[in-house]
Structure 1
Amino acid sequence: MVLGAGAAGLTTALCLAEAGTPVRLIADRPPERTTSAVAGALWGPYIAEDVRVLSWGLHSLGEFRALSEDARSGVRLARGLEAAASYQPPPDWVRGMDGFAHVPRVLLPAGFVSGWRYTAPIIDMPVYLRYLVGRLAALGVRVELVPALGSLDAVAELGDVVVNCAGLGARELVPDPSLCPVQGQLVVVENPGVDEFFSDYPGCDQPTYVLPQDDRVVLGGSVRTGVESTDPDPTICAEIRARCAAIVPELATARIVEHRVGLRPVRPTVRLERVVHRGATIVHNYGHGGSGITVSWGCAAVVLDLLG
């Protein structure tokens, strides 16, 4: 049994099913209504302090590179620029990315003093989630919608083995008061011809990133700890567009297609462990912060190991 239909739940269920394990996948909301559905999503460690995130992310990187060869997946490899407003050496993981190269200051956008280019996966999340659902369906696994479960006792009654991929929902379900929502807002606009991504570095509460996805561009972003609303804030929207237009001027007048707001499930460390509760084996796989997509395949592989 896998609980949750976001990236963690779908990926974990798929890995288990492809390994020959009978899988039942249940969730209180469909994939298109999960936090994963409103993610950017550029592969890379983000809003996650756990030192294990990088190794899990590198495992996922190999999977996403392979998925980029399938046009149906919503995954593609894109070249782009990461830049910092103060001198910053590139993180070690960036140096190992395809096409890594330092960029001279004179070639950086105004206000940035150090930067580098590399190639990384960009994932069109609505397309990608449908792709995972399709692969699961081909194996006879479908998402079963059920009312939200109220406790870990109720989870234990679902079966002998349950993988908890409930995301922020684990705060009440487990319960786990260490989980904290960190709101993020994105603006999606028509693509005026952008084909490379941009991301500032390091992370801050007003990050700037431009993620082209075919005929649309995802603009970000925001980091608001403890904010639980999923309603778009017009002021934040305007600030995001202004910051992104400073990088790509054509974005200033691009037609807005949609607003996205999600709650990142942040925890001091990712909870990825096997426990026994009321006689049931429960594997917790939640608390991935802003790196849920980045670590999804790596964490699913650990779940398989934990279940033997």
Structure 2
Amino acid sequence: MPSTSPTPSRVTVIGAGVIGLSCAHDLAEAGHEVTVVADHGPGDTVSALAGALWFPYRAEGAEAVLERSLRRFVELATLAESVDTDDPSAGADDFTDDVPPVQMRTGMFHERLDPPDRSWVPPVVSVLGDDAVRPVEGGVRATLPMIMTSRYLAWLMDSCRMSGVAFQWRTVTSLDDLSGSADAVVVAGGLRGGELLGGDDAVAPVRGQVMVFANGDGGEDGPRLIGWTVDSDDPTAMTYVFPREDEIVVGGTAEAGSWDETPDQATAEAILSRAEALVPELKELPILGHGAGLRPTRETVRLERVDGYALPVIAAYGHGGAGVTLSWGTAERVVELVGEAVGVGGRGGLS
């Protein structure tokens, strides 16, 4: 008798932020029939406001996926460097313009604690080697993946579509809404994740506010910034400066329990004062805009199968300020959990 291939399992991913899209991509690459259901696209999620340096900020309980995530981002940055952007056919399925969505950038972590918190160093060294983190006066210099958020989300969305992922733009009010249309569900809905699973008091917002500056050209348009800077040892007055190609994201705040998504003028002035003291070149660059978002923070990241439902349900939320950082490691683990539940799966890939 001729051999037959197993019927693809139907997996619904709830949420179109960076966690949901990464999970959808890897699930599709692993052979599942994937549909993303969300009430808005990635450009309207908190992921779009992310500073997006690879760094496990407020990522308690996610140690198991840190190294996986870093390896995937380094893989992506290496792939970007290999694309010949002068040849329109080279890498056309991966990059839609001449700016890679991920670049390896060097910057400075200012340290004020004694002893400093360097719990993030081991996974970095294990993947990138000892030279990736270098102690200097006042802190450490490190070379890490910098994610160009808007380009990255567009690339990730395109990658999902090329992998066969379907999208439905609607609000899921109950997992019962998906009965009969899926063999497994992945809940990657950020702050709404706990609500969809019947309530989760451990998940709560931590408000972050940012400013966006234009990046200069090194000439008439002002200085061009490349290296990043972070000073986060005081959580009530954290400061970071993340230069991208055309813009610079400057933050920020960490206001636990606040649901306010409107930028505050006094907060913006405080951020500006701290940032200009840290990076004086910002005084020569124009401000393009302001933003505020709610990090979906939890005591520990929830990444597990949830019992009590008629079909397998995988929780993947509570990543706090490290959603981009942990996204690929989370996706790999979700593929494993779905595979264990429905019998299909394997590691995804960056095609």
Question: Per-residue CA shift, 1:249-276, capped at 9, x if unaligned?
Answer: 1212421112121101111111111124
CA RMSD of aligned residues (A): 1.8
> Structure 1 residues 149 and 222 mapped into 2: Cα distance closer, same or farther (>3 Å)?
same
Counterpart of 1:199 in structure 2 is: 230
Shift of 1:90: 5.2
Which stretches of structure 1, 4 residues or more, deviate above 4 A after TM superposition?
Answer: 155-158
> Structure 1 residues 155 and 206 mapped into 2: Cα distance closer, same or farther (>3 Å)?
farther
Return the match for 2:38 from 10, 23, 27.
27
Counterpart of 1:118 in structure 2 is: 142
Q: What is the one-letter code of the residue matched to 1:20?
A: G
- Higher gyration radius (CA): 2
Counterpart of 2:3 in structure 1 is: none
Q: What is the one-letter code of the residue matched to 1:77?
A: M
Question: Per-residue CA shift, 1:198-231, capped at 9, x if unaligned?
Answer: 1114361221111110121110110011111111
Q: Greater CA deviation, 222-231 or 151-160?
A: 151-160
Asked if 1:183 corresponds to 2:207, the answer is: yes
- SS of the equivalent of 1:268 reads strand
Aligned pairs for 1:1-308 (under 5 A) are 1-50=12-61, 53-69=62-78, 70=80, 72=95, 73-89=100-116, 91-94=118-121, 96=125, 98-104=131-137, 114-146=138-170, 148-156=171-179, 158-174=181-197, 175-191=199-215, 192-202=223-233, 204-308=235-339
> Structure 1 residues 143 and 266 mapped into 2: Cα distance closer, same or farther (>3 Å)?
same
Q: What is the one-letter code of the residue matched to 2:313?
A: I
> Structure 1 residues 299 and 203 mapped into 2: Cα distance closer, same or farther (>3 Å)?
farther
Shift of 1:92: 4.3
Task: Supply the distance in 2 between the matched residues of 1:91 and 1:156 (Cα, whole angstroms).
Answer: 46
Shift of 1:153: 3.2
- SS of the equivalent of 1:47 reads coil
Counterpart of 2:8 in structure 1 is: none
> Structure 1 residues 118 and 61 mapped into 2: Cα distance closer, same or farther (>3 Å)?
same
Equivalent residues of 1:2, 1:13 under 8 A apart: yes
> Structure 1 residues 4 and 206 mapped into 2: Cα distance closer, same or farther (>3 Å)?
same
Equivalent residues of 1:160, 1:279 under 8 A apart: no
Equivalent residues of 2:33, 2:164 under 8 A apart: no
Equivalent residues of 1:47, 1:203 under 8 A apart: no
Equivalent residues of 1:40, 1:218 under 8 A apart: yes
Task: Supply the distance in 2 between the matched residues of 1:84 and 1:168 (Cα, whole angstroms).
Answer: 31
Task: Supply the distance in 1 between the matched residues of 2:296 and 2:145 (Cα, whole angstroms).
Answer: 22
Question: Per-residue CA shift, 1:241-297, capped at 9, x if unaligned?
Answer: 111111111212421112121101111111111124441110010111111111111
Equivalent residues of 2:230, 2:239 under 8 A apart: yes
Identical columns (%):
39
Equivalent residues of 1:161, 1:280 under 8 A apart: yes
Equivalent residues of 1:94, 1:100 under 8 A apart: yes
Q: What is the one-letter code of the residue matched to 1:183?
A: R
- SS of the equivalent of 2:132 reads coil
Which blocks of at least 5 consecutive residues in structure 2 are unaligned?
Answer: 1-11, 82-94, 216-222, 340-351
Shift of 1:136: 1.1
Under a length normalisation based on structure 2, what TM-score does the superposition of the two structures give?
A: 0.80
Task: Supply the distance in 2 between the matched residues of 1:92 and 1:36 (Cα, whole angstroms).
Answer: 24
